[in-house]
Structure 1
Amino acid sequence: MTSSGADLAALPTLGASADGRYVVLPSQAWMADGLAEVQRACFPDLSEAELMTAAHFRAHLQVFPEGQHAVWDTHAGRVVASSTDLRLNVDFARYAHPYMEEVGHNTLSTHDPHGEWLYGADIGVHPDARGQGLSTLLYAARQSLVRQLGLRGHVAGAMPKGYGRHAHRMPIEEYVHRVILNELQDPVLSVQLRRHYRVWGVIPEYLEDASCRNYGVFIVWRNPERGGEA
């Protein structure tokens, strides 16, 4: 990953931490190796076939550049978090889908430039930078993009990464319900619920990851400027 101050200065800032150390930027091709490093560090249990590579991140910029965000650490001079989105039309009666199918096997070939919903293909914060509010910055950037494009909202398949520790004593539906009630904390789903997302349903065999026992949770944030319409 190579860059210069001029490279960064030319990019619009889409959000920033209070102290200015972390800034949300549009992802760039020269960031691809760093984005892939963040991906691998964030998802050590994800199958190799499902990890996004540097080639994938570069390809995303050709498909839908507006939906690709990176968090840059101005002190360390590197990418420490990112999110990947595409546009889709959503059939809420048939929301259960395998992750790889929905994102075109990480190519975003399923992107519909006229899609009414922003779909969250990926979000991750490097373990070294967690606890700094970086996921909040990324969700704010995503929701801002929804408003700018006049979309109905943002949807995603959340990974309930804490479920693996509880799977021996409760079904996934009970786990998700208890996370919603704030009786249990999930490292992914709880963060999204605090960002005003709502659970729509559980997706079995969403992806291959032992930490969530291959489950996904379909979540929805509705654009208030569209009146919360489905």
Structure 2
Amino acid sequence: MPLMYRKELYVFDRDRPVKAVIRRYTERDFAELIRIQQECFPPPFPSELWWNEEQLASHVARFPEGALCVEVNGELAGSMTTLIVRFDPAHPHHTWAEITDNGYIRNHDPGGNTLYVVDISVRPRYRGLGLGKWLMQSMYELVVHRGLDRLLGGGRMPGYHRVADRMTAEQYLDAVVRGELADPVITFLLRCGRTPLAVVPDYLEDEESRNYAALMEWRNPFKAAERAGS
């Protein structure tokens, strides 16, 4: 029986509390989820990488616990999708297509050690409410509930194209971590508690990131404590 999940909370529009609900998405949400993708990832991001209904159907069939959405005042405002994989930190390089099965997650492995982020999207008009951070927190809860080692995902580096002529991707990531530069995605992930593991080339067709991604993780603190005490 799939684990049920529903979280009711208040987020803040400046100083005004606004009610939000985080829950599993279902088939009735598919059309709106696709519209959210189109709003979140406009060109030059390739449109063929937006969700399609077959992918979304696979998410809710294969791993419904990893298919979450957030509503604000009854309107769908964003979503986050994950799958479980076996990951070896000694061999971090992979592409988004390889590790997510091109977004279909048919390779979901309930016996794996890592919760992997397929996608996180928040509608532009709802950004600033902290919805992405709350979605991420909900997935951290799933990591702990499942006893997994980590949450992991490749973060786009959309600011990199502005400095690619004078910095390597690794140098750019280091500059963002040091606070010398800010990146819309990487800085957000740092604020969510994610830490860099590696820079991955040819991760995803992404002109702004020059096809690089920063592989960033959140380690299960209970597993980390076990290792420290062993």
TM-score of the aligned structures, taking structure 2 as reference length: 0.89
Q: How does 1:1-230 map to 2 (within 5 A)?
A: 12-18=5-11, 19-44=17-42, 45-74=44-73, 77-227=74-224, 229=227
Q: Which runs of 5+ in 1 are unaligned?
A: 1-10
Letter in 2 for 1:14: K
Q: CA deviation at 1:12?
A: 4.5
Secondary structure of the 2:198 match is strand
CA distance in 1, matches of 2:63, 2:6: 18
Contact (CA 8 Å) 1:14, 1:24: kept in 2 or not?
yes
Q: What percent of counterpart residues are identical?
A: 32
TM-score of the aligned structures, taking structure 1 as reference length: 0.89
Q: Which runs of 5+ in 2 are unaligned?
A: 12-16
Between the two proteins, the alignment pairs up a number of residues equal to 218
Structure 1, residues 46-66: CA drift from partner, whole Å, max 9, x if none?
A: 223322223311221001000
Evaluate the alpha carbon distance shift between residue 185 and residue 144 of structure 1 in structure 2; reply closer, same or farther with a 3 A threshold: same
Structure 1 segments of 4+ aligned residues over 3 angstroms from their partners? none
Secondary structure of the 2:208 match is helix
Task: Tell me which residue corresponds to 1:3.
Answer: none
CA distance in 2, matches of 1:184, 1:23: 33
Letter in 1 for 2:177: I
Q: Give me the CA root mean square deviation.
A: 1.7
Q: CA deviation at 1:199?
A: 0.5
Secondary structure of the 1:212 match is coil
Structure 1, residues 118-162: CA drift from partner, whole Å, max 9, x if none?
A: 001110111111111011110110001111111111010111121
